[in-house]
Structure 1
Amino acid sequence: MIASPPAAPRVSPWVLSAFWFGTAFHWLLLLLVLMPANVLEFVGPDRKGTYVGALTAIGAVMALVIPPLVGAHSDRTGRRVPYLRLGVGVNIAGLAVMGGAVTLLSGMTGFWVYVLGFLLVQFGNNYATAPYSALIPQLVPTEQRGRYSGVMGMLQAAGQLLGAVSAFVVGTLGLPSMVSFVLIAAFLLVPALVTMRGVPDDARPAPSGTQPAPWQSLFAYRPFLWVFVTRVLFALGQYSVQPFLQFYNADVLGQKDPATSNSIMLACIIVASIVSALIGGRISDRVGRKPVIYVAGTTMAVAALLLLIVPGFGAALLLAVVFGLGFGAFTSVDWALGSDAMPSDTSFARDMGIWHVAFVAPQFIGGPQGALLDWGNAQGDNLGYTLVFGVAAAFFILGVLLVRNVPDHQSTRPVTT
C-alpha cells in the first residue's frame, strides 16, 4: 500500500477543467436541444421518442468501447494531449456531417447520414475522454480533489448554461440549425486549446516491467466496484428523462414553443447547479464524499417525482432549480469520488476510461425508455411520462442507498506490479 502520488507540476483547476466546459456546452446543445428537434423533422411526431432513444443508444456503443482501449494505450505512452487533439478534430468533423444532413437532406436518408455524423462525434469525443479523465488523479493530490472536482462541476454547469442560452437565442431569432452546429464546434475547440496548452504533457509511460491489473480485477477492488455501480445508477436516472424533456414541455406542460421552454428549464437547472457545484466539492474535502451524494441524490429523486404533478410551467421551473441544486452537488463530488477509487497509479487513463463507462453505458436506457414513453402515452393521460420519471426517481434513490457501500475517503491504494 502506498499513499497517493505527489502532485505533478501544478496546473490551475480552471485550465485543467476548461475542456470539460466545452464538452458540457457541446452535449447539452446537441443532445437536449438539437437532436430532439432534428429527429422530429426527419421521422415525424409518432415515433419521435423511439428514434431519439435509439440514436442515443447507438451513440453509446462508441462511448463504451473507445475510452478503455484508448486509455490503456495512453498509459503505455505516458501521453495525454495528443489523444485530446485528435479526438477533438474527429468530433468537429462529425458535427459538420450532422449539420450538413440537417441542412441538405430530409427523411430517412437524412436521418442515416445524421446517425453517421453522430457516430463520428461519439468516436472523437470519447477518444479524447479517457486520457483527459486521467489528469485529475494524475496531477491532483487526494486532499485537493474535491476542490478540483468542484471547479470541474461548476465549469460543466457553466458550459451547459451557455448552451441553453445559445439555444434560446438561436430559437428566438429563428436561425437555422447549422448555426448551432457551428457554435458547438467553436465552443468545443477553444476550451480544448486552453487545456492542451496549459497541461504538462511530458511522456511518463508506466515503468518497465510494470503491468496494470487485468481490467476484470478492477471490480474485485471494493472502492472501484461500488463507485462504478452507484455512478451507473445515477446516470440511469439522468438518461431516463434527459432526452425527453423537450417532449415533456410540449405534452405535459402544454408549451407552444417547447424548444424555448426546454431551454429555459435547462437554464434554471444549470444556474442552480453552478451555485451548489463549487460549494459541494469543498465540503466533500472536509466531511467526505458520501454525505454530499446522499443529499444530492435524494433531492434529484424528489424533484423528478414532483415534476409529474406540477400545476404549470412556473412551478416546473421552481422544481428545476431544486433538481439543479442536487445535480450540481453530485457533479462536484463525482470526479473526486472516482479519482479516489483508482486502484493503481500505472493505469489511470485505462481505469478512468472504464469508470467513464459507468456514465456512458446507461445511455442505452434511452432506447427502452423512449419506447416506454411512446407506449405509455398511447394509453392516454401522458402515462408515458409518469412511467419514465418514476423509473428515474427509483434509480436516484437506489444510488443513494448503495453509495454507503463505498469505503470512506481513500488515502491509500494497492499498486499492481
Structure 2
Amino acid sequence: MSPWALSAFWFGTAFHWLVILLSLVPANVLHFVGEAHKGTYVGLLTLIGAAMALIIPPIVGAQSDRRGRRLPYLRLGVGVNVVGLAVMAGAVSGLSGMGGFWVYVLGFLLVQFGNNYATAPYSALIPQLVPVRERGRYSGAMGMLQAAGQLLGAVGALVVSLLKLPDAALFALVGVMLLLPALVTVRGVGDADRAAPVTPASAEPEQPWTALFAYRPFLWVFVTRALFALGQYSVQPFLQFYNRDVLKQASPVTSNLYMLAAIIVASILSALVGGRISDRVGRKPVIYVAGTTMAVTALLFLVAPGFGAALGLAVVFGLGYGAFTSVDWALGSDAMPSRASYARDMGIWHVAFVAPQFIGGPQGALLDWGNAQTPNLGYTLVFGIAAVFFALGVVLVRNVPERVAPTGPQPA
C-alpha cells in the first residue's frame, strides 16, 4: 500500500480546513457581524467546531472498531461534509432565502460533523496497516501532503481573491479538493481495509477508554500534542486580522495568504526529511527542534518591523511546523495500547489536536479586549500565550517513551 494513497485524504482535509478557517470564515464573519465583534464570533465558530471534534471521533471510532471497517465511515462523512459546504456557500450568497449568519452556522455544523465522522476511522489506518519500523516514513508522507494541501489551499484562495470571484466559487473548489483525494484513499486502501478487520474477537480484549490515560505513553503523547495544538489555535484564526491591524496591509486577505504560503512551502521541505530522520534517531529529537523554533518565532512576530520581516519569520516557523507534523502521526501511532481499539483510541488522540480549538473562543475575546485597551495589545497577549504553549510541549515531550509498540499483534 502506497503511503501517498493512504495520505491522500489528509491532503484534501488540509486544503479544506486551511481555506475554511483561515480565509473564508474570518472574511464571512466580518461580513455578517461587523468590525467590533469579529474576534468574538470567529472564536464562537471555533468553539462550535471544537465541541463536535471532541465528541464525535471517539464515538464513531469505537463503532468502527466493532465493525472492523474504516472506509464506509470515510465515504459517509465526506458526503455530509460536502453538503455542509453547500449550505455555507448558500448562506453567504443569499441563494433562495438561505442568507443569514445562523444558516451559515448550520452549514458549519454539518461540515464539522461530516469531517469528524470520517477522521477517527481514517486515523486508525496507520497503526492498523503500517509496521512500527515504517511509521516515520508514512507519517512523513502525511506531513508532506498535509503541507502541500495547505499550500494549494492558500494558492487557490489567493487566485479566487485576485480574480474577484464570489465566495461560492471557493466553497465549490474546497468541495472538489476534498472529494477527489478521498476517492484516491478509498481506492488505494480498499482491499487492505477488508483484509485486516480489527475486532475484539481477533485481538486482545478492548480496554475502557478511561484506561488510556493510565497508559503512560498515550498520556504524554496526548498532553504534548494538545499543547502544540493550543499554540497553533491561539493565533491561527486571527492571522488575517494580524495582517490588517499590526502589519497595516491594504489587502489583509491577500497578504495573509502569502504568509500562509511561506509557512507551508517551508513546512513541506522539513516534512520531507523529518519522518525519515525520526525512524533513525527517534521522534523526540525532531520535536525538540521543531517546538523550540515555533515558540521563538511566535514571539518574534510581535516585533516584526514590516510585512517582509514577518514573511521571513513565517518561513522559519514553517520549518518547525513541518518537522513537527512529519513525526506527529508516528508518535501517536507508536503510543496506541491495543489493536482492539485503534480507531477509538486514535479518535481520542485526535481530540488532543482539535479540542484545543476551544482556545479560539477565549483568545478571540482576549484579542478584542486587549485591542480595546491599547492598540494591538490583544496580539501581544495571544502570540505570547502561543509561545508558552509551544515551549511547554517541548519540555514535556521528554516524558514520552520512544518507539512504543502496541501490545497486540503487529501487521506484517
**Class of the TM-score when normalised by the shorter of the 2 chains:** over 0.9
Q: Could you tell me which of 105, 109, 114 is aligned with 1:115?
A: 105
1:5-84 to 2 correspondence within 5 Å?
Answer: 11-84=1-74
Q: Aligned residue for 1:188?
A: 178
1:290 aligns with 2:269: no
1:135-284 to 2 correspondence within 5 Å?
Answer: 135-199=125-189, 200-202=192-194, 204-208=197-201, 211-284=205-278
Amino acid at match of 2:5: V
Contact kept? 1:70, 1:350, Cα under 8 Å: yes
Amino acid at match of 2:71: V
Q: Distance in 2 between matches of 1:250 and 1:108?
A: 30
Q: Distance in 2 between matches of 1:135 and 1:192?
A: 14
Q: Distance in 1 between matches of 2:274 and 2:235?
A: 24
1:389 aligns with 2:379: no
For residues 77 and 191 of structure 1, do their structure 2 counterparts lie closer, same or farther at Cα, with a shift above 3 Å needed?
same
Amino acid at match of 1:206: T
Amino acid at match of 2:228: F
Q: Distance in 2 between matches of 1:106 and 1:396?
A: 46
Cα offset for 1:211?
A: 3.2
Contact kept? 1:52, 1:370, Cα under 8 Å: yes
Q: Could you tell me which of 100, 125, 129 is aligned with 2:90?
A: 100
- Which deviates the most, 284-293 or 209-218? 209-218
Contact kept? 2:336, 2:406, Cα under 8 Å: no
What RMSD, in angstroms, separates the aligned Cα atoms of the two structures? 1.5
Q: Distance in 2 between matches of 1:149 and 1:414?
A: 21
Contact kept? 1:42, 1:106, Cα under 8 Å: no
Q: Distance in 1 between matches of 2:119 and 2:129?
A: 16
Cα offset for 1:205?
A: 4.0
Amino acid at match of 1:127: Y
Contact kept? 2:29, 2:42, Cα under 8 Å: yes
Q: Distance in 1 between matches of 2:122 and 2:258?
A: 31
Contact kept? 1:146, 1:336, Cα under 8 Å: yes
Q: Distance in 2 between matches of 1:412 and 1:50?
A: 42
Cα offset for 1:55?
A: 0.7
Amino acid at match of 2:387: A
Identity %: 78
- TM-score, length of structure 1 as denominator length: 0.95
Q: Aligned residue for 1:377?
A: 371
Cα offset for 1:60?
A: 1.3
Q: Distance in 1 between matches of 2:80 and 2:156?
A: 23
Cα offset for 1:409?
A: 1.6
Q: Could you give the per-residue CA deviations for residues 329-376 of structure 1, whole angstroms, max 9, x where no partner exists?
A: 000000000000000011100000000000010000000000000000
For residues 110 and 342 of structure 1, do their structure 2 counterparts lie closer, same or farther at Cα, with a shift above 3 Å needed?
same
Cα offset for 1:107?
A: 13
Cα offset for 1:108?
A: 12
Contact kept? 2:234, 2:383, Cα under 8 Å: yes
- Which deviates the most, 194-203 or 160-169? 194-203
Amino acid at match of 1:13: P
Cα offset for 1:208?
A: 2.6
The count of corresponding residues between Structure 1 and Structure 2 is 405
Q: Distance in 2 between matches of 1:66 and 1:101?
A: 25
Q: Distance in 1 between matches of 2:83 and 2:336?
A: 33
- TM-score, length of structure 2 as denominator length: 0.96
Contact kept? 1:53, 1:366, Cα under 8 Å: yes
Contact kept? 1:87, 1:124, Cα under 8 Å: yes
Q: Could you give the per-residue CA deviations for residues 71-114 of structure 1, whole angstroms, max 9, x where no partner exists?
A: 11111111111000000000000000000000007999711111
Amino acid at match of 2:29: V
Contact kept? 1:43, 1:107, Cα under 8 Å: no
